Amino acid sequence: MSVAAATDRPSPNPSRKREGDIRAEFPGLTPGWHYLDTAATAQKPQAVIDACTLAMGRDYATVHRGVYARSADMTLAYEAARRRIAAFIGGAEEQVSFVRGATEAINLVAYSHPRKGRVLLSTLEHHSNIVPWQLAGWEIDVCPLTADGRIDLSAAEKLLTPEHTMVAFAHVSNVLGSPLDVARAAELAHRVGAELLIDGCQAVPRLPVDVAALGCDYYVFSGHKLYGPTGIGVLWSDKLDALAPWQGGGSMIDRVTFEKTTYAPAPTRFEAGTPAIVEALGLAAAAEYVSALGVEAIHAHECALVGSLRDQLARKNSITLFGPDDSAGIVSFAMAGVHPHDVGTILDESGVAIRAGHHCAQPLMAHLGVPATARASFGLYSNDDDVAALIDGLARVERIFG
């Protein structure tokens, strides 16, 4: 089913009838421009822009502090945003802490966890799921990948020991689009007494996520990849109370004296200072927008585009494809004899925007034996015209480089 076929669902614009109407709700999608870099950051629908504008303008006030009416109203809206995000991933509001992004969420867990020890990562992890563990002093083991670019859970089962206190895997690879069987990963981690942290940045915009069903202990994601604002992200956990606060300041306290400070319960203890009020309301609007279209419909729409693009690229002798055939919304490839940066530059001249580089996944690039890849990634607004423009642009790259 395409996203356009999901218009029977309640939506921010119930009169929407055509796929083109969806694209029209994204002011960043200017005519003649084919945006295929949603895995880096998603374009924003007008509903999110409007929510942020109202929150920053007519409705603006601080939260949790003022006794005047507008502050009280904004506090209610901010906490309603927390509830909306919790419901979007199947959690409870007291289990959701707002952070600056998935990077901050992983750093928070890495530094605040009471049992620092060994952590099992995988070859395909984003730098944000590698460097924080190193900086916080964890001992790192690395799980290999299967031949088609998935985290090898059979290998993980053999690697895991009671010395491991954490397993941290990506739900969907930001380079290969390969999805993880999170429930099995959770079972393997818990079998040896470890906890499981899932980087859900690429999964939340395109896969149904129910943290209770997945069985993980921590789930993190960034708002800007979910069609929301930058500067906001989510740390979900049913174990937040076990983590120590890692930043001090206003809001996160119970009582402060010069001799001793006591802290607010989770999740407030992790939100030191004035929070990202506008961004939280924008993120809630993004979750509402995606829910109205239906994540299942979005995923099916993106899968159809992935299948079409992979089929057409596979016919080109100059192209090497990476990742599994069922990659979620992401297609990485290399063109023989042409650096991905050159591919990206020439495509840009044709109005096609892709990502080219190591995608903050240098260990994965080393595993693939390439310095970089070209990456096309889809969103709910992507369509067949975007795929056609990419294929035409690659034909131009081939002509230029012979």
Q: Which amino acid is at 342?
A: D
Distant-in-sequence, close-in-space partners of 145: CB < 8 Å, separation ≥ 6: 122, 123, 124, 151, 152, 367
Structure tokens at 281: 């309301």
Closest CA to 40 of 230, 293, 321, 257: 230
Q: Which one from 201, 216, 303, 360 is the annotated catalytic residue? A: 360
Q: Which value, to the nearest 10 degrees, does the dihedral of the CA atoms of residues 304, 305, 309, 310 take?
A: -40
Beta strands 233-237 and 96-99 are antiparallel
Residue 292: burial class (beta carbons within 10 Å; 0-12, 13-18, 19+): middle
Question: Do residues 79 and 281 touch, judged by C-beta distance below 8 A?
Answer: no
Give dist(CA 241, CA 190) in Å, integer: 19
Q: How far is CA 337 from the centre of its chain?
A: 32
Angle subtended at Cα 300 by Cα 390 and Cα 386, rounded to the nearest 5 degrees: 15
Active site residue 360: yes
3-state secondary structure of 37: strand
Q: How far is CA 209 from CA 94, 159, 315, in A?
A: 18, 27, 34
CA count, 13 A, side-chain hemisphere, 225: 26
Q: How far apart are the first and last CA of the chain?
A: 39
Active-site residues, by number, are 360
